[in-house]
Every structure is written in structure tokens, then in C-alpha cells.
Amino acid sequence: MKKVPDYFGSMVFDDRVMKAKLPAKVYASLKKTIDEGATLDSGVANEVADAMKDWAVENGATHFTHWFQPLTGITAEKHDSFITPSLDGGVIMEFSGKELIKGEPDASSFPSGGLRATFEARGYTAWDPTSYAFIKGKTLCIPTAFCSYSGQALDKKTPLLRSMEALNRQALRVLRLFGNKKAKYVHSSVGPEQEYFLITKEMYDARPDLRFTGRTLFGAKPPKGQEMDDHYFGVIKPRVAAYMEELNEELWKLGILAKTEHNEVAPAQHELAPIYTTTNIATDHNQLTMEIMQKVAAKHGLVCLLHEKPFAGVNGSGKHNNWSISTDEGQNLLSPGDTPYENAQFLLFLCAVIKAVDDYQDLLRISVATAGNDHRLGANEAPPAVVSIFLGDELDGVLKAIETDTPYEGIEKKQMKLGVDVLPKFNRDTTDRNRTSPFAFTGNKFEFRMLGSSNSIACANIMLNSAVAESLKIYADRLEKSTDFETDLHNMIKKTIKDHKRIIFNGNGYDDAWIKEATKTRGLLNYRTTADCMPHLLDKKNVDMLTSHKVFSVSELQSRCEIMLENYCKSVTIEANTMVDMAKTQIAPAIEAFTAYIAKNTAAKKAVIADITCKYETDLISKLSDITDKIAIYADELNDTIVTLGEAKGIIEESEIIRDCVLPKMCELRLAADTAETLTAKSYWPYPSYADILFSVK
């Protein structure tokens, strides 16, 4: 039996391999680039490429690819073999430093949002040496950035790396003010929890809506859903356990720190969580995780659904982004220590996050905006679309004491009393967890819970890194000019608390009263849909901040706004067209066939028993006929509304038509069809029911 330490990272060109394969000087140069962000010495590229190729070939690779993350939301790769013709008619395996550093994929078919014309096809990929190369199948995958011929970012990695550099610059300035001269760099770390559904391939293939859109567009509520909470942390079914076992093995080979697995709340829903790692590596790993989850599922006759809301009426799937910042020496800058009231450095970094989240709550909402996530946010299992911060009783008390200049008395650490002598005794945490908060402090990190399960975590962390960098810049600019550091530091922390306490909320985020208080009293933003929030990406304060830290250019921001709204419109339009097709070609005919069957049987009964009323049958026929008429009308109206999208003057207007007209029409059609499902014999209904799908995996 293979032991995990023996094969963990076996498919990764990691530090262990580099140290063994590279000359000492080459290794030291590359290590300096990876650890400190130093400029890559092009002179070492050939030796790195040669060692990388030898290692890859030894492990069965025949091809290499520059693996990148375009604005499609998934990854992209173009494979080239290592073969080069030799004079004797054979081939040799070669890989040069030039091929390692730069690639030239055709960029014409990737989303650009107007950054280039269609005929401008040239794009470049550039090696990201801070993220280890790895082997997938028989291909050496080299993580890269992706840009246009003019140097504008066409991917999610480039702005992410820029945001990490911005955070590093400003955090080091603040640390120097506290006397820390040793730290060489500061980086953000992330551990993204990944929720997903597993259903059988048979059920998936029988549902056009799942195949085309990733979610069910029709489906009546089953007799049993998640009401009993019996699936959450329940015993994992053998078929799912076998899937998880193989998934872990494949992830561990790629050095992905898959740690936790369990059943989630909804039937057929599960979760995988990794150990924290540097943000750009965590982003690469999460993209790989989603890909491998789906590949392994196929081997087990299953389908892994990553849509945020694949089934109405049960919990959707999120991706909790656990974020923190640390120095190269391992100091977590968001760790409060035993006495947070006296930890001025921690309090300043905490205030930087509070200020960032309040000032740029719109950017955080934008970073998680998709058509799928719009269905999830605000539902009972997900945070509301209103951004707020949960700090807990202890930190809330600390900040209130600072704001009012009163002594902080602290919170007594109480021992848990379980009433059984044999059970171990331990101290209770000073605060409970709040699972309803969009942005919760959880001990030494913040958990940003608004991300959807299919989202790339790059977008959220770009905005989070950048916004916190801006807060730290403001603090450093002021404190570097200070003549009384201690007094000015105290006053700055106090002012931040007073100015931004509206964003702090420790109560129930699901309560309607909170949404009213947040928007009416506190003035917080409530962007319910992608169409509501996405145009605000181009608000002046957001453009100024993101361009000042060189995370985006103005044109890159404009392109992303365009692309995200296009994705929103295209996603919903595909859903609407799928609904029309399913309703007209399958659902309505099925209801008609069942109605005809009932009518035929009713006529037969009346022919035998002259005075029989057949009230049940005639009432059912009347209901089904009425619903069939409604389905036909709603399907036609939805189709007509889709046609009007072509008349929209620009993508913003199109997104507003989607929000205000298309989605409501889709709801009308679904309600009618779902009602019909409850009245139609199962043998006539054309698609597997929710009960069939959600409980299909044994």
C-alpha cells in the first residue's frame, strides 16, 4: 500500500526536485525569485528548462504546455511535444529556456472586452516561477500569466500577482514603522473551502438543463430534502467515499493540500477543504481541484456539479475564502495574541481590513458576481448580498474600548462544563462563530463567505489584497510623517473605528431586519444581482484605487466590466433558451399525453356507468389543461423577451433586461411546470425528479 508521504507532490517540480536537479547557483537564483519576488535571471532559464524536461520525461511526460487562466473562468492549455528531429531520422527530447519563459498562444478567441480587435490574434504567456510546474496526464504544465500583444492582462493571474505585490509594498512600510527590519516580504495566504454536489451520470444525462447550464431549471420540491439535517457530517456513502479516496490521491500527487472532507447540508452535497498556502498558488490549486473533481467523478460514473444553485429549495454551494497575511518569517499579522488590546500592530492591520471592507464593499460584491451566485446570495444557506464584518465579542469589546477611551476589562476564559467526568476539560473560545456573516474573523484570519463554488478565487483576492493595500498606504503615508508615533497611531486606530464601525455586525445576517438596518440606517450597499453591481467597477474611487496600485489599467477594468456582464447575459440567455426548448418539446407534450390518457379513461368509465360524475378526473383534466395553456403562453412570452435582447443599446442595458424581464419570465414558466409535475403521473414526466437525482448516489 502506497504511503501518502511517499507520493505527495510526486507530480510537482517543487523545491525538493529543484534542489536535487539544479546546480547550486541556479537553484539559489531561482529560489530568490520565488521567495523574495526578485527579478528572474534569464541566464538560468536554459538550465531550469533542461532539468524540468528531464524530470518530466522521467515521469512519463511527452508534451509541455503553458497553463493559464483566461477570463473564461476556467484554465487553458496548448500542448507541444518535447520532440525535435535528429540528423539520423529519429528524434531527441528538447525544451529550451525560451520555451519555458514565453509562449505565444492564439489570443483571438479568448474574451478581451475590447482590449484588442478580433484580427489581433497574438498573445503571450509568461512563466510564473512562484508557482511550481506539474505533470497532468502526460503533459508538463507550466503556470503562466497571459497578456495581449500590447502587454494588457488577459487573465486572472496577472492582476492577482500585481495585487500581492501592492499588499507586500504597503505592509512592509507599516512593519518598518513598528521596528521590524528583518521581514523581506509579506504575502497573503488563502485556504478555499470547496462545496459541490455529486449525482449519477444517468441522472445528469437525462436532464438537458443540467447538461447545458449546470443547474436544474425545472423541478418540484421532493417529499424530503434537507429538513432533517441528517446529511450534514453524516456517514459518507461507499460510492462517495471511493470517489473521495481517489480524488485525494490525485490531488496529493499534485502537491495540493487537501485536508478535510465531509457531507454538507443538502442531500448529495459535499465539501473539500485544503490547508492554507500562498494566494497565487492556492488559486492555481483551486482551479486544478475543480478540474480533477470532475475528472475523477466521471471515472466513478458520477458527475460533480459546481454550479452555485443546481437545485432550488436546498442549499447551494459556496467557496469560503479563508484569507490572512503573513511575513516571510512566518508571523501572522492578523493573529491577535493573548492580549489583543495591547497588540498595536495587530490592531492597525485589523483596522486596515475593516477600513478596506467598508470603503470597497462594492468591489468585494463585484468580485463574486455571477449569474449562478445571484441565486445563492441572500438565500438561507448563504450570506446576504450586503457586505458586513463579524469580529466576535472579544475584538468588538476591544474596539469599543479604544473608541470610547475606556479601559478594556477583557473576557474571562471559561472552562467548558460537559457534566461528564471522563471527558476532557478545555477552555471555551472567547467568541462563537457566525456562519451568517459574509466576512467573519475566525481567530487569525478572515473568512470571506460570499464566493460561489464555481468562482475563481483570484477575483476576490485581487480586490481584497488591493483594498487592504490602500488602507495600509494611507496609514503609512501619515505615520511616516509623525513626530509622536504612539499618539498618532492611537488616534488613527480610534478614527478608523469611528468612521467604519457601520460595517461591523455580529448578529444574524439572515434576519430581514438586519438588511433593513444595513441599508436604511447604516447606508451599506445591497446589490442583489450582477446587473446591479458590475457597472460600479468603473466608479471613480474604484478605478483610482486599482490603477494607483498598478493592479489594473483603466482599459483592463473597462474590459473586465464588459466581459463579466457579457458572461451574465450569455449564461441567463442559454438558461432561458433551454427552458423554452424543454417546455415546448418535452414538458407540454408530456402533460398533454397524460391529460389525454385521463380523458380517455374518464370517457370509458362514463360509458360503463352512465350517471358517474368522475369529479376527480374532470377536475384534474381542467387543472392540467389550464397549466398547459399557461406553459405555452409563458414559453412564448419568454422567447419573445429573449428576442428583445438583440435590441439593447449596449451590454449594461442588455443586463438590465435580463434582470427585469427575462428572469421574472423564467420564474413564471418554472412555477407552472413545477406545479404540473406534481399533478402528472411519474411515468409520463419526461425528466428525473429531484427525489430521483438527489438520492441517486448509494
Q: What is the CATH number of the domain that holds 262?
A: 3.30.590.10
pLDDT digits 0-9 by tens, 578-637: 999 999 999 999 999 999 999 999 999 888 887 888 899 999 999 999 999 999 999 999
Same domain, 279 and 353: no
- Cα–Cα nearest to 148, from 81, 68, 79, 37: 68
pLDDT reported for residue 427 = 58
Cβ within 8 Å of residue 321, ≥6 positions away? 190, 192, 447, 448, 449, 451, 457, 460, 461, 464
Instruction: Give the separation between CA 690 and CA 311, rounded to whole angstroms.
Output: 8
b/e map 65-76, b = 16+ CB within 10 Å: bbbbbbbebebb
**Is there a domain that residue 419 lies in?**
no
Provide the 10 A C-beta neighbour count for residue 606. 15
**Is there a domain that residue 346 lies in?**
yes
Would you state the cell numbers that stand for residue 499, as one nine-digit string? 468612521
Q: What is the CATH number of the domain that holds 680?
A: 1.20.120.1560
In degrees and rounded to multiples of 5, residue 94 shows phi and psi of -130, 155
For the cut 90, the answer to whether the pLDDT of residue 82 exceeds it is: yes
Per-residue pLDDT averaged across 157-172, rounded? 97
Same domain, 84 and 54: yes
| Domain end position, chosen among 511, 527, 552 | 552
Task: Kindly state the percentage of the chain with pLDDT values over 70.
Answer: 94
Same domain, 145 and 26: yes
For the chain, the maximum distance between any two Cα atoms, rounded to a whole number of angstroms, is 104
**Is there a domain that residue 422 lies in?**
no
Same domain, 182 and 236: no
| Domain end position, chosen among 486, 517, 552 | 552
Per-residue pLDDT averaged across 530-554, rounded? 97
For the cut 80, the answer to whether the pLDDT of residue 16 exceeds it is: yes
Q: Are 339 and 323 in contact (CB under 8 A)?
A: no
In degrees and rounded to multiples of 5, residue 610 shows phi and psi of -60, -40
**Is there a domain that residue 561 lies in?**
no
Q: Are 289 and 254 in contact (CB under 8 A)?
A: no
Q: Are 547 and 417 in contact (CB under 8 A)?
A: no
**Is there a domain that residue 78 lies in?**
yes
Per-residue pLDDT averaged across 481-503, rounded? 95
Q: Are 327 and 174 in contact (CB under 8 A)?
A: no
Instruction: Give the separation between CA 13 and CA 131, rounded to whole angstroms.
Output: 10
The 8-class DSSP code of residue 680 comes to S
Cβ within 8 Å of residue 163, ≥6 positions away? 461, 462, 463, 465, 466, 469, 549, 551
Q: What is the DSSP string of 66-94?
A: EEB-BTTSS-B--EEESEEE-TTSSEEE-
Cβ within 8 Å of residue 232, ≥6 positions away? 226, 263, 264, 265
- Cα–Cα nearest to 572, from 320, 291, 369: 369
Same domain, 183 and 210: no
Instruction: Give the separation between CA 273 and CA 255, rounded to whole angstroms.
Output: 14
Provide the 10 A C-beta neighbour count for residue 329. 11
Same domain, 246 and 268: yes
Provide the whole-model pTM: 0.93
Per-residue pLDDT averaged across 383-408, rounded? 90
Angle at 614 between CA 612 and CA 617, to 5 degrees: 165
pLDDT band at 159; cut points 50, 70, 90: very high
Instruction: Give the separation between CA 501 and CA 399, rounded to whole angstroms.
Output: 9
- The amino acid that residue 204 corresponds to is Y
Place of cell 529550451: 96
- Cα–Cα nearest to 284, from 136, 176, 410: 136
Same domain, 380 and 522: yes
pLDDT reported for residue 541 = 98
Arithmetic mean of pLDDT over the chain = 91
Count the alpha carbons within 13 Å of 537 in the hemisphere toward its beta carbon: 27
Cβ within 8 Å of residue 478, ≥6 positions away? 488, 492
Per-residue pLDDT averaged across 150-171, rounded? 94
Same domain, 300 and 347: no
pLDDT reported for residue 42 = 72
Higher pLDDT pick, 394 / 301: 301
**Is there a domain that residue 613 lies in?**
yes
Residue 494 belongs to domain spanning: 163-189+325-411+427-552
pLDDT reported for residue 698 = 85
Task: Kindly state the percentage of the chain with pLDDT values over 90.
Answer: 76
**Which range is least confidently modeled, 407-411, 484-488, 525-529?**
407-411
pLDDT digits 0-9 by tens, 241-294: 999 999 999 999 999 999 999 999 999 999 999 999 999 999 999 999 999 999
pLDDT reported for residue 499 = 97
The 8-class DSSP code of residue 2 comes to -
**Is there a domain that residue 21 lies in?**
yes
Higher pLDDT pick, 40 / 285: 285
Per-residue pLDDT averaged across 62-66, rounded? 95
Helical axes 485-500 vs 393-404, angle rounded to 10°: 120
SS (H, E, C) 384-395: CCCCCEECCHHH
**Is there a domain that residue 224 lies in?**
no
- Total domains present in the chain: 4
Q: What is the CATH number of the domain that holds 62?
A: 3.10.20.70
pLDDT digits 0-9 by tens, 415-469: 656 566 666 665 555 556 667 899 999 989 999 999 999 999 999 999 999 999 9
| Domain end position, chosen among 289, 317, 345 | 317
Q: Are 459 and 317 in contact (CB under 8 A)?
A: no
Per-residue pLDDT averaged across 62-67, rounded? 95
pLDDT reported for residue 110 = 76
Q: Are 155 and 146 in contact (CB under 8 A)?
A: yes
pLDDT reported for residue 169 = 97
pLDDT band at 342; cut points 50, 70, 90: confident
Place of cell 441567463: 572
Instruction: Compute CA distances 402 → 278, 340, 405, 683, whole Å.
Output: 33, 12, 5, 68
- CB-based burial label for 38 (10 Å; 0-12, 13-18, 19+): middle
Same domain, 403 and 458: yes
- The amino acid that residue 623 corresponds to is K
pLDDT band at 43; cut points 50, 70, 90: confident
Provide the 10 A C-beta neighbour count for residue 408. 16
Same domain, 137 and 59: yes
Instruction: Compute CA distances 98 → 104, 142, 309, 509, 640, whole Å.
Output: 11, 13, 44, 53, 54
Same domain, 115 and 132: yes
Q: Are 522 and 387 in contact (CB under 8 A)?
A: no
Provide the 10 A C-beta neighbour count for residue 46. 17
Cβ within 8 Å of residue 64, ≥6 positions away? 53, 56, 79, 80, 82, 95, 99, 139, 140, 141, 142
pLDDT digits 0-9 by tens, 140-158: 999 999 988 778 899 999 9
Higher pLDDT pick, 499 / 71: 499
Handedness of CA 51, 56, 61, 66 (dihedral sign): negative
pLDDT reported for residue 408 = 77
Instruction: Compute CA distances 204 → 208, 215, 305, 407, 582, whole Å.
Output: 8, 10, 10, 61, 15
Cβ within 8 Å of residue 644, ≥6 positions away? 657, 661
pLDDT digits 0-9 by tens, 356-374: 999 999 999 999 999 999 9
- CB-based burial label for 586 (10 Å; 0-12, 13-18, 19+): middle
Same domain, 462 and 531: yes
